[in-house]
Amino acid sequence: MRTLSTRRSHPLAGLVVLVLGLVAAAGLWSALAPKPAQAEQYTARDVEAGRELFLIGCASCHGQNAEGITTKDGGNYGPSLIGVGAAAVDFQVGTGRMPMAQSAPQAPRKAPEYDAEETRQLSAYIASLAPGPAIPAEEYLNYKDVDVEGLREGGEFFRTNCTACHNSVGAGGALPNGRYAPTLKGVSAKHIYEAMVTGPQQMPVFNDDLITPEDKRNVIAYIKRVQEQPNYGGLGGGGLGPVVDGVFVWVLGIGGLIGFAIWIGAHGARSKKKKA
C-alpha cells in the first residue's frame, strides 16, 4: 500500500494521466469522426494525361506547375491550384466555368469545354499535387433515398446557411461587386456537393467536419424536392421572392391596367368627336 501511495503522488503522475487521456481522445475521434466522401482512384497514366491537358489549356493562367501567376499590381491571372483537390477541378471544369472565356468578377456556368474523361484526368493531376477535397462517392449523391426526416434536416441546414445568397428555393440572387449566387436549378447533385466542400468564388466552404456527407445529401435532397414542387398559387415568378413578385405586379399588373385605362379614354374621346 505504501508503494502504491508513493507512485500516486509522483510529480509525473498528472502528466502521464493527461497524455493517456489525449491519446484516448484522439483514438475515439479517429474512429468516430465523419469520413470524407472519397470515391475516385487515379493511375499514373491519368495523372500524366491530366498534366498534358493542363499545360495546353490551363498553364497560361495558373502556371506550369499550378502555382498561379501573379500580376505586377499584386493580383493574379489565375490562383494557385495546389491543394484545391479533385472536387474543385471537377466542379469548375465540369460546369464549364473553367476555362474562362474572358476575365470577369465571376465565372458563369456554361457548356463544358472538356468531356468527362478529360475532366477526370485534369482532376487526377491536380489531386496528385497536394491533398484536397475528393470527388464525392455515389452513396452521398443518391438523394432520392432520403426519408422525410432527412428532408426536414436538409431544409433546416439550407435555410440557415444558404438562403441569404441562393434564395429560399435556390433561385439565386445578386451580390456586391458584380458577383451573384447562381441558381441551383438544373445543377447536378455531384456539383452541388462539390461546391459545398470547395467554396467556389465567394461561397464559404462547408467541409465534412462542419456538415457531414450525410447532411450534405439531405441538403441536396431538399433542394431537388423544392424544385420539383408545382406552383400551386399560379405564376411562380421564378421563385425570386416577394420583392420581385411585387415588381411583376406593379409593372405587368397595375401597368397593364393603367395602359388599358388610357386606351379606353382615348378611344372614348375619338368616338365623341366623330358623333359631333
Q: Which of 35-39, 145-149, 231-235 has the highest mean pLDDT?
A: 145-149
pLDDT tops 90 at residue 223: yes
* Residues β-bridged to residue 78: 69
Is residue 177 within 8 A of residue 105, CB to CB? The reply is yes
Question: DSSP strand E in the chain: where?
Answer: 69-70, 76-78, 173-174, 180-181
Q: What is the amino acid identity at position 64?
A: Q
**Cis omega (within 30 of 0) on the bond before 99?**
yes
Kind plus residue range of the DSSP H or E element containing 273:
helix 255-275
- pLDDT higher than 80, residue 38: no
Percent over 90 (pLDDT), the chain: 50
pLDDT of residue 4: 45
Residue 252 CA, distance from chain mean position: 34
User: Is the pLDDT at 36 greater than 80, yes or no?
Assistant: no
Lowest mean pLDDT among 63-72, 90-99, 185-194: 63-72
Most confident of 16-30, 85-99, 240-254: 85-99
The pair phi, psi for residue 19, each rounded to 5°, is -65, -45
Confidence at residue 235, expressed as pLDDT on a 0 to 100 scale: 61
In DSSP terms, 76 is beta-bridged to 70
Which range in 8-22, 77-91, 226-240 is most confidently predicted, on average pLDDT? 77-91
Position 135 scores a pLDDT of 94
Residue-averaged pLDDT of the chain: 83
pLDDT at 241: 60
**Predicted local confidence at residue 44, as pLDDT:** 92
* pLDDT (tens digit per residue) in 116-153: 999 999 999 999 999 999 999 998 999 999 999 999 99
> pLDDT-based confidence at 260, cuts 50/70/90?
confident
pLDDT given for residue 1 in this prediction:
47
Distance (Å, rounded) from C-alpha 172 to C-alpha 108? Answer: 13
